[in-house]
Amino acid sequence: MTQLLETFRLFDSNDDGFISFDELRNAWHRLCIPINDDELRTIVERISSKKNECRISFDDFQTLMLSYQTKQTKRKNDKTAYLDETFQAFDKNRDNYISAEEVCQTMQQLGENLTLEEAKAMVKLADRNQDGKLSKDEFAELLQNLQNNSISP
């Protein structure tokens, strides 16, 4: 709560208890967030509890931040659930580790032509503690790296 109030006060440069359209625009520019006036006006109007006012109270700001935090938490929970389901799909023997054999078997079930040697190489790359198998954390890191590499230009 204190950090939220401090952030609000940083944006409220004239200390009138509200973040005006101009104050918000200046804050966005200081944060190097490109936005045009129409987009910003739409945001302010959507957030403001008092319609036809182009300013945001602390309560409005708090509601916005809590909404954002809730969305971030849900997104994190969704990612965790996805990771758990994916890990379980690979962990055929339910020992809480994924072996190269399990990687190979699962990928082949998904229609990928992956050899055991290729699966061993994948496991070796992600196996931080060199025990020959992937923990859930190592698997999560592997998925993240694969995702980052597939998105990279």
Measured from the Cβ of residue 107, the count of other Cβ atoms closer than 10 Å reads 17
Confidence of residue 153 (pLDDT cuts 50, 70, 90): very low
C-alpha closest to that of 90 among 118, 110, 111, 62: 110
Arithmetic mean of pLDDT over the chain: 87
Residue intervals in the chain for CATH 1.10.238.10: 2-69, 91-151
At the topology level, CATH places domain 2-69 in Recoverin; domain 1 (1.10.238)
Provide the H-helix boundaries in the chain: 2-11, 21-30, 37-47, 58-90, 100-109, 116-126, 136-151
What was the pLDDT predicted at 115?
94
Q: Report yes or no: 102 and 93 within 8 Å, Cβ to Cβ.
A: yes
Decide: pTM greater than 0.85.
no
Neighbours of 52 (CB within 10 A): 6
**Residue-level pLDDT at 98:** 97
| Higher pLDDT among residues 100 and 20, named by residue | 100
pLDDT, tens digit (0-9, with 9 covering 90-100), for 3-18: 889 989 999 999 999 9
Cα–Cα dist 41/120, whole Å: 54
> pLDDT (tens digit, 9 = 90+) per residue, 43-66?
888 887 777 677 889 998 888 778
Q: What fold does the segment set 91-151 form as a domain?
A: Recoverin; domain 1 (1.10.238)
Whole-number Å distance between alpha carbons of 67 and 94: 37
CB-neighbour burial class of residue 149 (10 A; exposed 0-12, middle 13-18, buried 19+): exposed
